[in-house]
Amino acid sequence: MSGLSVFKKAVKIIEENRIRLTDNVENAWYFEIDEPNEIEGKIEISVRKNGGIRAPPCSCKYGIYQGIKGYMCRHQIACLLYLGKKVKEEDEAK
């Protein structure tokens, strides 16, 4: 399997608007991602604004491997893609 597939899946999450910013606090962003493959149908995930990773970094079934192997799941990558776009838009709005 190509290592690129996790990035393609992350791009798909963005394209299909399955990611929502649910909270924006002083030091972190919180997201919810629609994920039909998960038991609850959604994923909750947060990203620290200083670039750090919160444990567990994602509630998906791959979350347990993260931190052990330095692995990023599609949800983490989707959050970063989302934030990259948001930060750029906010910069342009200034």
Among 6, 19, 75, 79, binds Zn ion (CB under 5 A): 75
Using the rule CB under 5 A, is 10 a contact of Zn ion?
no
Grouping H, G, I as helix, E, B as strand and the rest as coil, residue 87 is helix
How far is residue 75 from each of residues 14, 54, 68, measured CA to CA in Å?
10, 14, 17
Residue 65 CB, nearest distance to Zn ion (Å)? 10
Q: What is the DSSP code string of 14-63?
A: HHTT-EEEEEE-SSEEEEEEE-TTSTTSEEEEEEETTS---SSSBSSTTG
Binding residue for Zn ion (CB under 5 A) from 10, 19, 47, 58? 58
Q: Does 60 engage in binding with Zn ion (CB under 5 A)?
A: yes
- Tell me if 19 contacts Zn ion by CB under 5 A: no
Interacting stretch for Zn ion, rule CB under 5 A, among 10-18, 22-30, 50-58, 81-89?
A: 50-58
Q: Provide the binding-site residues for Zn ion, judged by CB under 5 A.
A: 58, 60, 73, 75
